[in-house]
Structure 1
């Protein structure tokens, strides 16, 4: 009898646990976009063939960018190696643009960042472009934290383009400043020896395609509306 009561109590406990909602931290945390929902191979032209005239011109542009970059610009490139929305746009958005004050905004852009990883990482091996500092180590130096994944398209540029489109839709009053900063952030990857200029072009195409896909998603739209309201209230807009 005691064993039977224990078994019934255990079964009831499991039934109650199963009926409880999933923890909030695990609910809806998957990327908005993945390579399964957006195949970037359909949107991107191939990079220059290694050793071609176009490839050599791209390499020369990286060499020139590194020669032109003084200590302050190199320091900015090192700062820009981080891929958070706050590193990207803190100096544009001001002192109130802080992660601790913007939980909904932070969550939205974190999931967008995860979407960039899930969408860009699978296509880089298909293009197989070698990063500048690895392709020409005698001319180009890794001046930021080095990565050995494929060079094309630029993941940092994809992410900052996607983020700039979304942030501009939230705060259109700062659209010009947001896009100027996005270009500066992307160019940091050339200064750092991580990417060629054509890699940035690919990243801008990829980020734009991702933004269009995100804005067509109902879950993203709901999160965007909530984050937009939060951010504008925090900025006093």
Structure 2
């Protein structure tokens, strides 16, 4: 994920005119195109939206480049992992057994998709995730990306480690070093199948890269979470695709289910930080408008109608079910205490586009009503970690698709039950 130190280099490249290439000009150097795909000249079409790249100033410092949690990172969000390692050997055993089962039993198509996702961390992430848009819309999105017609989206979410909506805080690099947990293929080399190929020949040269939390999952989740906020018509499918990307890390045998759950938690916390940053929200909104305008031009109809007519990546019900299952990956519930969900302060704003008529408190009630039950690993009930660790239970797919009614006096029901 990108760090703040790359902003000056991006500014220099943009100020030099990269990405403002008139017809007939010399092509952009390959290196610039590889690392700064948002600067490549677009294919222009009569009557199509005119791509408008970010300005150099848009690459500058944002307050959300630092986490809103202690130390400017996301350790607090997943600090419950320390307790699991120290006091719950049964959980850690199940953690390893689960990844072994997933890795050993994956069919050929699942492995292929996992290999595609593994190769997308340093570029073309939007292409890898594009099937979440549906059969037709996904193809249109891929064409738009190939034609360099989505420069804001590519700058923010599709420039690999230089994606501006990412950053050092949201990379999980520091958290990995703090926890220092070895990967499955290191701990149990005789039990893990190495699915090499598909551009992943060096995937298992990660001995010096700790396992928890999963950086690939984190990247896929903050990306798909922000896209879900920007394009709520596709929210459950986008969120489910991010969850699949996390599951695929287990398919490859390079992450445990707890790593994936931790990556989801940090990724959503990072997305919330970005969306709650007014300056970053403004440029993110431009990305959503850019995607929406492009897809509506290509299909000749509204995005909602295009989604309704398309063959989806998953039906809405299937997407919510799959996303919910992949919040825990079948790990055993540690207790069945009936604790109320603690909703992180930044989380309710993630529902603002799905429920614009609700206020912050009402959206928080939707999140609490649709949350995962208490007691699964990484659910941290301690006083010091509740707000941060609360991300473990936040089920965004269920929240985005909830049936919400508000009655007189603020009485509210979510999916027919009082909230």
Shared fold (TM-score, shorter chain, > 0.5): yes
Aligned to 1:111: 164
1:25-62 deviations in Å (ceiling 9; x for gaps): 56443675445653211211225428922221111101
Please say if residues 140 and 295 of structure 2, whose CA atoms lie closer than 8 Å, have aligned partners that are also in contact: yes
Equivalent of residue 224 in structure 1, options 284, 299, 302: 284
**Partners in 2 of 1:31 and 1:153 — Cα distance?**
26
Q: Structure 1 169/189 Cα, relative in aligned 2: closer, same or farther at 3 Å?
A: same
1:101 aligns with 2:149: yes
Change (3 A) 1:208 1:118: closer
Equivalent residue in structure 2 for 1:186, among 236, 246, 251 = 246
- Could you report, residue by residue, the CA deviation over 1:41-91 in whole angstroms, capped at 9, with x for unpaired residues? 121122542892222111110111022201111111111101243244211
Whole-angstrom distance in 2 between the partners of 1:165 and 1:151: 22
Residues in 1 aligned to 2:195 and 2:168: alpha-carbon distance in whole angstroms: 24
Aligned mate of 1:40, from 74, 80, 84: 74
Report the structure, 1 or 2, having the larger helix content. Answer: 1
User: Over aligned residue pairs, what C-alpha RMSD do you find?
Assistant: 2.4
Q: Which residue of 2 aligns with 1:24?
A: 14
Q: Matches of 2:104 and 2:169 in 1, distance apart?
A: 31
The farther-off stretch of 87-96 and 68-77 is 87-96
Q: Deviations over 1:82-121 (max 9, x none)?
A: 12432442112212213212111111112124x2675411
The answer to whether 1:90 aligns with 2:130 is yes
Matched-pair contact (CA < 8 Å) for 1:170–1:232: no
With over 3 angstroms needed to count, the CA separation of the structure-2 counterparts of 1:90 and 1:223, relative to structure 1, is same
Shift of 1:22: 6.0
Equivalence for 1:10: none
1:42 and 1:31 mapped to 2: Cα distance?
A: 23
> Which stretch of structure 1 is more off in the superposition, 48-57 or 224-233?
48-57
Q: Is the 8 A contact 1:162 1:211 kept in 2?
A: yes
- Partner residue, 2:410: none
For residue 56 of structure 1, the aligned residue among 93, 102, 118 is 93
- Listed as ranges, the gaps of 5+ residues in structure 1 are 1-20
- 2:109 is aligned with 1:72: yes
Is residue 105–residue 227 contact of structure 1 (8 Å, CA) maintained in 2?
Answer: yes
Shift of 1:220: 0.9
Of the three residues 212, 234, 240, the one matched with 1:152 is 212
Q: How many residues align?
A: 216
**1:134: which partner in 2?**
186
Q: Whole-Å Cα distance in 2 between the matches of residues 232 and 120 of structure 1?
A: 30
CA distance in 2, matches of 1:31, 1:119: 17
**SS state of the match for residue 112, structure 2?**
helix
Scaled by the length of structure 1, the TM-score of the pair is 0.82
So what's the TM-score if we normalise by structure 2?
A: 0.48
Structure 2 match to 1:171: 231
> Who wins on radius of gyration, i.e. which is larger?
1
Structure 2 residue runs of 5 or longer lacking an equivalent are 1-10, 16-55, 158-162, 197-202, 297-302, 304-419
